[in-house]
Amino acid sequence: MTGRIRWRMPRAPLSLRQRLLLQLLGIAAMLAVFLYFTVRTVAGQAAETTQDGILGAATTAIAEQLRAGTEQVEIDLPYDAFSVLGSISEDRVFYRIDVGGETVTGYDDLPLPPEASGKVGPQFYTRPFRDTEVRIAAVTRQVVVAGQALPVLVLVAQTRLGQDAIAERIANRAAGLGLGFFTLALLLSLIAAGSVLAPIDRLAEAVARRGPEDLRAVDASTPRELVPLVGALNGFIARLRAALGRTETFITEAAHHIRTPLATVRAQAEIALRQSDNEATRQTLRGVIRAVEESARSATQLLDHAIVVYRSDRMTSDALDFGALVAGVVASIEPAASLKDVDLRLSPAAQPLPVTGDRALLESAVRNILDNAVKYSPEDSVVRLSLAAEDNRAVLRVEDRGRGLSGLDPASLSGRFRRGGNVADVVGSGLGLTIVTEVAAAHDGRFSLTEREGGGVCAEFSVPLQ
Amino acid sequence: MRRILCALAVILSPLCAAAFPVEEEHVFPGTGAGSELWILSTTDTEYFAPLLTAFQARHPSVTIRYTVTGSASVYTAVADEGVACDLAISSAMDLQMKLANDGFALPHASAAQLPDWAQWQDRIFGFAQEPVVLVASRKALEGLALPRTRRDLIDLLRDHPGRFEGRIGTYDPLQSGAGYLFATQEARQSDSFWRLAEVMGANRPRLYASTKPMLDDLETGTLALAYNVLGSYAATRAAHDPDVALIEFEDFTLTLLRTALIPKDARNPELAGMFIDFLLSPEGRRLSGQQGGLPPVNEAALVQTPRLRPIRLDPGLLVYLDRVKRRAFLEEWAAAVKQP
């Protein structure tokens, strides 16, 4: 049993449109069939009633012409009574007149009525007659002849070819009507399904159009039926956003909690280094200081990266002057650079460079670029910084005389935790260029590294001018 | 063997098929061993011959046997005697109607478009229409105005008692089916029929079973007036004899259809159907009108000429065939015409 169930292919569920269409069409088909049979039945009955009416009128007209003669009943068939029977259709006509139970004229094998009706009006019945089937109208009259009441039975019969033809014609029309109705229903169903499902399509489109990190609540106006779905979706988005926020806070806290004790450890180690004369101990302490420095850097960059990731989801748009921003960062880096005797030379732009962006992110990017440049520059060297407006972009170029890329693909260096193969002796986490690349992407900016002639790297960072 | 018997039947038909009186019989032999089309008709061979030869020209292998008899005989031959003719052509529309109504006619799907009064179901087909007219001898009426209405005729006969004594000819409704149809239809249309019948009766009319002898007697001078004569025959005589005057009454002139049906015992119903289609085809209509002198069914002519009243092919025709009604009518007719 289970094996069989396992092998059954899961059927793709019908789409809403298919369900709606199928159900609407099913209803339309049922109605069309119902319409066909109703029209057919009603029309058939109407045709029969009409023909019965004429047949009855003809029979009654003959009965009205019966007169009491001196010895017998006088019968005078009215011409028009028969003529009118041919007015609707070309049906065969038979008749029979019995006086006192004896056939006086007409077709004496015409079937008699099943029972005496006792009615004044005609009695109708259908019987097979000779090679065909006929509808018969029977009227009974009492005629007094020589003081004696004689029952006279008048039968007039007609074949039903005309009625059948009418019924068939009407049935064909009814079928056509039903088919037309169905076709119309098909078109209307398509339109109805489209219009009913349009809000769902619109909602799906609104959600699909969002960027991968857009975590705002969905606020598209939706019909009442979709409100729970949108509510659930927004609840989910809110939970996701909260979870991301918590992660962010956690990283910040963690970096902070790691950096503070590390700074303490480093200070203590440096004091110990100055006080110690034992070369072995000094060597160990230098190793400790180096490791602590590396850890502090990594923590800082982790924090930076977390901020970049966090803020690029909901960046602020500030109006900034890119030149002033770069000058600020240069000022903050200067002490670290002078420790290595690296000279930072900034050539400002000829004009102000107004840009729109997130101040914290842009500062983080510029700091990382400069940090790298200082870090990989040899002692007592120059790092040149130049600002310019080119192609409607604010461009920062940072040129160092460091160890260069050694033929590595610059793009591969911007991956998270990726470092070049020639930097083992320099402290680094591999997150710096990742941060720069992400900030550039968030600001519709560009970042590139190119090898300089004569050694070193030129880093170029640009964002659109306002 | 059967063919030999058939051949014998053809040769001996006046003798052995004596169940109905044969007026004329012509055989148009076809080439080779084709099938035979036997037409039983009330129309004289001379009127039909162009149609028969034209049909045979199209179907050379078909042998056509054309037998002329009275309209009552056509009915009894088909209804009572089971004569296996392939086509029954008659001017007695009421008898044709009764044959079809009582199930003695086969259906035939014809492509021809006939007006509804000239066709009944797919069993009776009207192929020629002709007025029923009064024929007068101009000589016999010398000095008198030709009557234009039935009232004129009544006045004429009343004003000149004795002048037309024994010189009026008409159908005997007892013997002639067509004569009975004309009389009953006229009685139905107008009250003046009975007055006319009485006035004619006072002049001791001669009664005929068919048109031909009546017209013969008019030409020889025996008759001065022939009442209710088929227009096509009268027109042929009038064309050759200037003395013959053809009068369509202005109060109303009955218009008769010559009709064809395929009897249920027909041996070659398909062939008969082909002949009907030929009769109703443009070629057949042209031949029948121009060469045969049988004007084809033409609704436009009826609309343009208001005096013409077509006898409609409908079940009303059955009424006067009712035996009680027929007896009563003939009694009344005899009382009016056969005065002591």
Average pLDDT of chain A?
A: 84
Averaged pLDDT for residues A168-189:
88
Burial of A454 (0-12, 13-18, 19+ CB in 10 A): exposed
Q: Judge whether residue B126 has pLDDT over 90.
A: yes
Q: Is residue A127 part of a domain?
A: yes
Residue B97 Cα, gap to closest chain A Cα (Å)? 9
pLDDT in tens, A353-373: 899 888 888 888 888 888 888
pLDDT digits (tens, 9 = 90+) for B239-295: 989 999 999 999 999 999 999 999 999 999 999 999 999 999 999 999 988 877 888
Mutate to test the interface with B, among A92, A96, A97, A130 (most CBs of B within 10 A): A92
At B11, the pLDDT band (50, 70, 90 cuts) reads very low
Looking at A252, A283, A314, the residue that finishes a domain is A314
A99, A134: one domain: yes
The reply to whether A364 falls in a domain is: yes
Q: What is the pLDDT of residue A301?
A: 77
Query: Are A233 and A298 in a shared domain?
Result: yes
Which residues of chain B are within 8 Å of residue A132 when distances are taken between CB atoms? 103
Q: How many CB atoms lie within 10 A of CB A226?
A: 16
Cα(A302)–Cα(B275) distance, rounded to whole angstroms? 110
* Residue of higher predicted confidence among A91 and A402: A91
Report CB contact under 8 Å: A93, B121.
no
* pLDDT for the residue numbered A314: 63
Question: Best-predicted range by mean pLDDT among A257-261, A421-425, B318-322?
Answer: B318-322
Identify the pLDDT of residue A39.
Answer: 86
What class is the B130-254+320-337 domain? alpha beta
Mean pLDDT in residue range B319-332? 93
pLDDT, mean of residues A375-384 = 86
Is A161's CB within 8 Å of B121's CB?
Answer: yes
Distance CA B233, CA A104 (A): 39
Nearest to A93 among B101, B188, B324 (CB): B101
pLDDT > 50? residue A97: yes
pLDDT value at residue B120: 92
Check CB contact of B101 with chain A, cutoff 8 Å.
yes
Cα–Cα distance, B293 to A373 (Å, whole number): 126
Chain B contact set for A76 (CB, 8 A): 325, 328
A3 lies in some domain: no
- Facing residue for B315 by CB, picked from A83, A105, A161: A83
Mean of the pLDDT values across residues B84-107?
94
pLDDT of amino acid B18: 46
Contact A75 B325 (CB under 8 A): yes
Which one of A314, A335, A356 terminates a domain?
A: A314
Distance CA A286, CA A290 (A): 6
Query: Which pLDDT score is estimated for A416?
Result: 56
Rounded to the nearest angstrom, the minimum Cα separation between A136 and chain B is 15
pLDDT at res. A10: 61
**Where does the pLDDT of residue A406 fall: very low under 50, low under 70, confident under 90, or very high at 90 and above?**
low
**Interchain pair A82, B312: CB under 8 A:** no
Q: Is B312 within 8 Å of A83 when comparing Cβ atoms?
A: yes
Co-location of A330 and A299 in the same domain: no
Domain assignment of residue A70, given as a range: 18-169
Q: Please name the member of A90, A105, A130 whose beta carbon is closest to the beta carbon of B322.
A: A105
> Are A296 and A337 found together in one domain?
no
Beta-strand pair A446-451/B24-28? unpaired
Chain B CB contacts of A78 under 8 Å are 319
Q: For A183-199, how does the pLDDT look when each residue is reduced to its tens digit (9 = 90+)? A: 998 899 889 888 888 88
Q: Where are the domains of chain B?
A: 2-129+257-312, 130-254+320-337
- Which tokens is A170 given? 């009407």
Phi, psi dihedral angles at A27 (to 5 degrees)? -65, -45
With respect to residue A206, please indicate whether it lies within any of the assigned structural domains: no
Does A132 contact chain B (CB < 8 Å)?
yes
What is the per-residue pLDDT for A411? 64
Which pLDDT band, with edges at 50, 70 and 90, does A135 fall under?
very high
Q: Is B319 on the interface with A (CB under 8 A)?
A: yes
Span B51-79, pLDDT tens digits:
999 999 999 999 999 999 988 899 999 99
Interface subset of A 93-112, CB within 8 angstroms of B: 93-95, 97, 104-106
Query: Over pLDDT 90: what percentage of chain A?
Result: 15
Is A187 inside any structural domain?
Answer: no
Give the minimum alpha-carbon distance from A152 to chain B in angstroms, rounded to a whole number: 15
Confidence of residue A255 (pLDDT cuts 50, 70, 90): confident
Q: Do B315 and A86 touch (CB under 8 A)?
A: yes
Q: Which residue has the higher pLDDT, A216 or B169?
A: B169
Q: What percent of chain B has pLDDT over 70?
A: 94
A429 phi, psi to nearest 5 deg: -105, -15
**pLDDT bucket at A156, cuts 50 / 70 / 90:** very high
Tally of domains within chain A: 3
A245 and A124 within one domain? no
Q: Give the amino acid at A380.
A: D
- Mean pLDDT value of segment A143-159: 89
Residue-level pLDDT at A263? 86
The reply to whether A89 and A105 lie within a common domain is yes
Return the bridge partners of A355, or none: A320
Is there a domain that residue A179 lies in? no
A88 touches chain B (CB under 8 A): no
Residue A158 falls inside a structural domain? yes
A419 lies in some domain: yes
Whether A82 and B314 lie within 8 Å, measured CB to CB: yes
| CB atoms B319 and A78 under 8 Å | yes
pLDDT at A451: 84
Decide if B155 touches A, using CB distance below 8 A. no
Q: How confident is the model at residue A409 (pLDDT cuts 50, 70, 90)?
A: low
| Domain-ending residue, one of A287, A314, A341 | A314
Q: How many CB pairs under 8 A join A and B?
A: 59
Residue A418 has pLDDT above 80, yes or no: no
Task: State the alpha helices, DSSP H only, in A209-316.
Answer: 227-275, 279-313
CATH entry 3.40.190.10 includes domain B2-129+257-312: yes
What gap in Å lies between CA A361 and CA A49, rounded to an integer?
92
Q: Residue A212: is its pLDDT beyond 70?
A: no
Instruction: Give the pLDDT score at A40.
Output: 85
Phi, psi of A393 (to 5 degrees): -130, 150
The amino acid that residue B326 corresponds to is R
Instruction: Say how far apart CA A339 and CA A461 lie, in whole Å.
Output: 26
Domains B2-129+257-312 and B130-254+320-337 share a fold: yes
